[in-house]
Structure 1
Amino acid sequence: MTQTTSSPTILLIAGHWLGAWAWDEVLEHLGADESRAVAMTLPGLDATDPARATRTLEDQADAIREQLFRLGASAEQPAVVVAHSGANSPLSLVLDRHPALVDRVVWVDSGPVASGSVFAPELPEEVDELPLPPFDVLAQQASLDGLTPQALERFRQRAVPEPGPVLRQPVELANDERRTIATTLICCSIPSAQLLELARAGHPMFAEVATLEHLDVVDLPTGHWPMWSRPGDLAEQIHMAASRGR
């Protein structure tokens, strides 16, 4: 059902190594837009959880579902979910199992994963967790463009190692209804034209995008962490996407 309220419920989920704190600046801007926005920390990324390194993708998907219920999401009043980077795996599970709870999904420099995807299939079983790598190594995997020294320092200080089980578990999907959910891609480190070309070519990281039935794409040129490099612009794009409904 189409969400008609001018102040939709928005759930924000950050990617690897990050908790709800990563969205602080974006939430300030969304508050000014009078959006009802809430950020969550996925299981395994709470530094105070003594068992966090054992948390799984299933734990994370269950937590997203429970948070949606707490926010009042239902088939009659579905929520908007914003997912950054590695949050795509647990959210893809939720979209597969509970598509009626989500009115629109907004992928921030991210996108849906295909069934059978594994983030780090070669990660040895004995590796309990994956800490944030040195920035010179990270920059070879994801763009740090736009991040100030202060932002990098906060990232380093607050990052929580990613649980090994989350990185090794395959994402098993079976419900094609997930592809009918309205979707917005906010493209930051990869331009939308290039991403769509890769999707049409069947690139394994982007092929699922080509299966989506209701897709909007937005270019927000910056690095992989726009919540710190362009928080106001990101909040504006999230608000605009959330206001569209299905």
Structure 2
Amino acid sequence: MDIILVPGFWLDASSWAEVTPALAAAGHQVHPLTLPGLESVDAPRAGIGLRTHIDAVVARIDALDHVVVLVGHSGGGAIIHGAVDARPDRVVRAIYVDSGPLGEGGVINDELPEDGDDVPLPPWELFEDEDLTGLNEELRAMFRARAVPEPKGVAQDQQRLHNEARFGVPATVIACEFPSAMLIEMIAAGHPYVAELGRVRDVDYVDLPTGHWPQFTKPAELGAAILAAVDRGAVGR
């Protein structure tokens, strides 16, 4: 199976480095992406928006010969959902790592502090305690040293969706900061935050208790959870 890994904000393809070996060892073709504007601290980010990143994922799907599994961490969840909307017939499963599908008109996060065309990694004090669970001082230093500013447009642009076939693509949510039971309760209550997720017809939930960056805090467990979800996606294909 071809597995496309989409990182969250401030991260490039190397952020999946401790997750990809288990996927490759299981025989999968793994494609961790560095999205436009995240190539380096000095990369230009003017004019790069949410659609730019979605189009980059769609281009990778189109470059492959077979159906794919998409994995999106954090803000990458909105990006892979846009790609599912564009290519629902090519995606056998969308896996959301501490994230979920972003619906029409939604934005990933327009409250993050910006600096021109950039959204730099904020100070740790701006994050919730749940975000930082397991992210010890060594991991925080590593993350900050490798962090690349996110293009402002990716954080602030509205999601635009067109194809209701997206709701037929099976999904897995790997819940880290908060238990999946909370998400299920929110869907049942009609909470707008999970309205788009609630419309997906086939959703599996996996609990991986840790903070918002499990690829750093629990990479082996995250790899195992992704593998299990990929196996479910391959059934019948």
- After TM superposition, the score normalised by the length of structure 1 is 0.88
The residue correspondences of 1:203-242 to structure 2 (distance < 5 A) are 203-242=191-230
1:138-167 CA deviation, whole Å, 9 max, x = no partner?
A: 235x51111232221111011111111112
Query: Are 1:96 and 2:85 an aligned pair?
Result: yes
In the TM superposition, structure 1's runs of 4+ consecutive aligned residues that sit over 4 Å from their partners are 121-126
- Alignment partner for residue 9 of structure 1, among 2, 20, 27? 2
SS of 1:80's equivalent? Answer: strand
Distance in 2 separating the partners of 1:240 and 1:95: 20
SS of 2:79's equivalent? Answer: helix
Distance in 1 separating the partners of 2:13 and 2:105: 27
Which 5+ residue runs of structure 1 have no aligned equivalent? Answer: 1-7
Query: Are 1:18 and 2:6 an aligned pair?
Result: no
* % identical aligned pairs: 40
C-alpha distance 126-213 of structure 1, shift in aligned 2 (>3 A): same
Distance in 1 separating the partners of 2:111 and 2:133: 28
Q: Name the amino acid aligned to 1:18.
A: L
1:37-81 CA deviation, whole Å, 9 max, x = no partner?
A: 120011121116632243111211111011112232xxxx31001
State whether residues 222 and 230 of structure 1, in contact with CA within 8 Å, keep that contact through their aligned partners in structure 2: yes
Q: Name the amino acid aligned to 1:117.
A: G
Q: CA RMSD in A?
A: 2.0
- Where does residue 64 of structure 1 map in the other structure? 57
Q: Name the amino acid aligned to 2:55.
A: D
Which 5+ residue runs of structure 2 have no aligned equivalent? Answer: none
- Where does residue 106 of structure 1 map in the other structure? 95
- Alignment partner for residue 138 of structure 1, among 127, 130, 133? 127
- After TM superposition, the score normalised by the length of structure 2 is 0.91
SS of 1:115's equivalent? Answer: coil
1:145-193 CA deviation, whole Å, 9 max, x = no partner?
A: 1123222111101111111111221001121110100111111111000
Distance in 2 separating the partners of 1:237 and 1:139: 24
Query: Are 1:80 and 2:73 an aligned pair?
Result: no
Query: Are 1:147 and 2:135 an aligned pair?
Result: yes
Distance in 2 separating the partners of 1:134 and 1:114: 28
Report the CA distance between 1:243 and its aligned residue: 1.1
- Alignment partner for residue 155 of structure 2, among 159, 164, 167? 167
Question: Which region of structure 1 is more displaced relative to structure 2, 31-40 or 178-187?
Answer: 31-40
SS of 2:192's equivalent? Answer: coil
C-alpha distance 99-49 of structure 1, shift in aligned 2 (>3 A): farther
Report the CA distance between 1:122 and its aligned residue: 6.0
Distance in 1 separating the partners of 2:221 and 2:119: 31
Q: Name the amino acid aligned to 1:143.
A: D
State whether residues 200 and 207 of structure 1, in contact with CA within 8 Å, keep that contact through their aligned partners in structure 2: no
